[in-house]
Amino acid sequence: MKLWVGVAVALLVPVCAHAQAAKSCEELKSEIARKIEANGVKSYTLEIVAKDKDEEGKVVGTCDGGTKKLVYRRGAPTSQPASAEATKP
């Protein structure tokens, strides 16, 4: 009986490890973007942020082993603040 349990554990451990494999953020972001665009959404933003950072929007995925998250916001992309070099005279 112990032999069967040992064999079962030995076979299931690699399966669990494969299921928890960390996906790169850029790969996940492109997959989600394709799905969003397939649903007809034209203007949206997907942003990769740290897991513990509070962002406005809906979290649609996690990546890099759960250390980062993808945040989705529908609507026109927000304008980025001008860089310090662009504001110099």
pLDDT confidence of residue 34: 95
Q: For the whole prediction, is pTM greater than 0.85? A: no
When the pLDDT of each residue in the chain is averaged and rounded to a whole number, the result is: 76
Q: Which helix or strand (DSSP H or E) is residue 84 part of?
A: helix 84-87
Cα distance between residue 57 and residue 43, in whole Å: 14
Query: Strand, coil or helix: what is 81?
Result: coil
> Is the pLDDT higher at 37 or at 88?
37
- Band (pLDDT 50/70/90 cuts) for residue 18 is very low
CB-CB contact of 45 with 61 (8 Å): no
Can you give the length of the chain in residues?
89
Cα distance between residue 32 and residue 45, in whole Å: 11
